[in-house]
Amino acid sequence: PAGLKILEDNPEIEVDIRSGLSPEEVREALKTADGIIIRSATKLTEEILKGQPRLKAIVRAGVGVDNIDRAAATREGIVVMNTPAGNTTSTAEQTIALMMALARNIGPAYA
């Protein structure tokens, strides 16, 4: 949300938040987009990326880019980026919390 606010606060950037789109709807939405930020559920296939002359960048909010056809994006001149360290701190915090829960038998105490 904080990163999204940075984009929304920039008067030169129009932010259009959509979720649950079908592949056809994604393809149609990209016709007017300069960039797209996606999570793992959105698949950007060659069919979706082909013929998107305005699209310049795809950003995967997360570690992997296996849901993006990188070869197709490259052919179309679209830059693909990800945020591999974006959730490192929260993952470490969760790990420590689970280790403490195991050490104190917190799970069985509330089962």
Q: 70-85: per-residue pLDDT in tens?
A: 999 999 999 999 998 8
Looking at residue 20, which CATH number applies to its domain? 3.40.50.720
Structural domain that includes position 62: 2-85
Rounded CA gap, 43 and 38, in Å? 9
pTM of the model: 0.78
State how many domains the chain has: 1
Q: Is residue 94 part of a domain?
A: no
13 falls within a domain: yes
Angle at 40 between CA 34 and CA 22, to 5 degrees: 65
Residue 97 counted as domain residue: no
- Per-residue pLDDT tens digits for 21-46: 999 999 999 999 999 999 999 999 99
In a domain, 58, yes or no: yes
Inside any domain, residue 100: no
User: Tokens for 7?
Assistant: 């984009």
In a domain, 20, yes or no: yes
CA-to-CA distance for 68 and 47, rounded, in angstroms? 11
